[in-house]
Chain A
């Protein structure tokens, strides 16, 4: 009997191929309808794609695959501001996420650490966190654009804002729930506050802190696409929006697929990091 893992892999493959099959069938040219009733003005605007007989406007899997291949074969070309390789766009998005997320970590982890150490501070900060956390980071965009006056920096700021809360909350929680007996060990050994912080509390809270980082990174990757659609210029979000303006659904689908794959890779990387710092009790 094959293992559950291999059976799951087979099932996944079956699901994927049936999805592709349904997709293919749904986008087959409908026979015999002749010219589709398209507004000639619209047809002239978007080119031949729509007026080309009964062919569906939605791309078939093969078309999307072809586009994907085209993009992956030359990911880093740069032919002006509206025509850059998908690798360049992804790099822009990842760069913004890394910057905003990194800044957020620099603020949230130390602040969360101090918050976790003091029950008073923790309670005092709690109402602010409760109000700030549910605000969609995009709601800050106008304020950011007004005060920072730079669209690139504004999108980084938005990433910062959405990454800060999960890391702050998790760090504070991890630090405040260090086992009392470990702290007692540190006390009986008269460990210095510095060693207590970095030798006992930090390793003990590390798995919780990394879980917070993983949540933050996930949210940041969700938000960057929307932020780049708003701000424009570069990035995978802008790419998707630009292809919508070009009415290239195949390119949009390629963008969506790559957003998913990169997001998954980010999550897996942080998951692997979290496992490195986890400890069985």
Chain B
């Protein structure tokens, strides 16, 4: 079986003197796919993302990206941080240009600006280039964060609960943005969320994590809604409530009642679930 583009293999992380936050995580992300990691807060979702970003070392297992093991941060991956993490003394343009110059140190200033401008345009920030983060709204700041991440042309875009601090309307328009960019660029995206609707709207597959400590991948849910989902009509699809209920049911009821048997033969490939296409573990009331 060929390895997926990103292959998370037996990943585990423990802080010294404590129970492992998570262990024996197995899952993969294919090229051009949007995969989302869904779980309760405290199950170590952000730590998984930080390991992928190279900001933290796993205590066991590892991650392969395009066949090579991830060791430390790299410009083949770009992170959109939860709290935007823009440098407040730089303008929107300055923040994006900072990333561009890091990626292509030999570029001339005009070339850097032009490249940065292209990505600011992509996230609809044309005209706000010279504003500092303090002068931008929360949604616009996160757009700059996305532009900064995309501008280095990474193989993988890592999003750490990127819209959790935004109001519902702004969150919606940014989700549309991510879908549009993904359709336009076929960018591989891995994102962390605790928002079921966000998971259903954005991702092709949803990795469900049990609560920590000793969190694991409970199952991987294939989004049975076809690509081309939009916020306006995703809820009209006949499978929408099946998959949504399945995820909610997991978060509210089933996540707590695990633990599942530890790493059996099935650990390598956590159970794959296709809500709507097959009636797996779906309570009748939920249909």
Contact = CB atoms under 8 A, between A and B. Distances in A.
Contacts of A204: 87, 89
Contacts of A187: 54-55, 73
B51 to A, nearest CB: 13
Contact of B132 (A182, A203, A279): A279
Contact of B102 (A179, A184, A189, A280): A189
A188 B79 contact: yes
A184 B99 CA distance: 13
B99 A189 contact: yes
Contacts of B54: 187-188
B276 interface: no
Contacts of A281: 88, 133-134
Given A185-B87, A187-B73, A188-B55, A279 B102 contact: no
B53 interface: yes
B103 A188 contact: no
B152 interface: yes
A252 interface: no
A187 B102 CA distance: 10
B134 A184 contact: no
A189 B134 contact: no
Interface residues of A, number: 20
Could you tell me the dominant secondary structure of chain B's interface residues? loop
Nearest to B145: A185
Contacts of B103: 189
B64 interface: no
A277 B89 CA distance: 8
B134 A279 contact: yes
A181 interface: yes
Point out which of B75, B77, B87 has the most chain A C-beta atoms below 10 A from its C-beta. B87
B135 to A, nearest CB: 8
A279 B131 CA distance: 12
Nearest to B102: A189
B32 interface: no
A167 interface: no
Given A188-B78, A189-B102, A280 B85 contact: no
Interface string B192-216: 0000000000000000000000000
Could you tell me the dominant secondary structure of chain A's interface residues? helix
Given A279-B88, A279-B134, A280-B132, A190 B83 contact: no
Contact of A181 (B83, B98, B102, B134): B83
Nearest to A281: B88
A261 interface: no
B74 A190 contact: yes
A185 B89 contact: no
Nearest to A206: B89
A94 B110 CA distance: 44
A104 to B, nearest CB: 25
A117 to B, nearest CB: 18
Nearest to B82: A181
A191 interface: yes
Contacts of B85: 179, 181-182, 184-185
A199 interface: yes
B87 A189 contact: no
B105 to A, nearest CB: 8
Contacts of A162: none
Given A184-B55, A185-B87, A280-B88, A190 B134 contact: no
Interface in A161-215: 179, 181-182, 184-185, 187-191, 195, 199-200, 203-204, 206
Nearest to B135: A280
Nearest to A185: B85
B74 A182 contact: no
A184 B98 CA distance: 14
Interface string B172-197: 00000000000000000000000000
B44 to A, nearest CB: 17
Given A188-B77, A277-B89, A280-B88, 12 more contacts: A181-B81, A184-B81, A185-B85, A187-B54, A188-B53, A188-B55, A188-B79, A189-B73, A191-B102, A203-B87, A279-B132, A280-B134
The 3 closest A-B pairs by CB, nearest first: A280-B134, A189-B102, A181-B85
27 contacts: A181-B85, A182-B85, A184-B79, A184-B81, A184-B85, A185-B81, A185-B85, A187-B55, A187-B73, A188-B79, A189-B73, A189-B102, A189-B152, A190-B73, A190-B74, A191-B102, A195-B102, A200-B87, A203-B87, A204-B89, A277-B89, A279-B88, A279-B132, A279-B134, A281-B88, A281-B133, A281-B134
Interface of B: 53-55, 73-75, 77-79, 81, 83, 85, 87-89, 98-99, 102-103, 132-134, 152
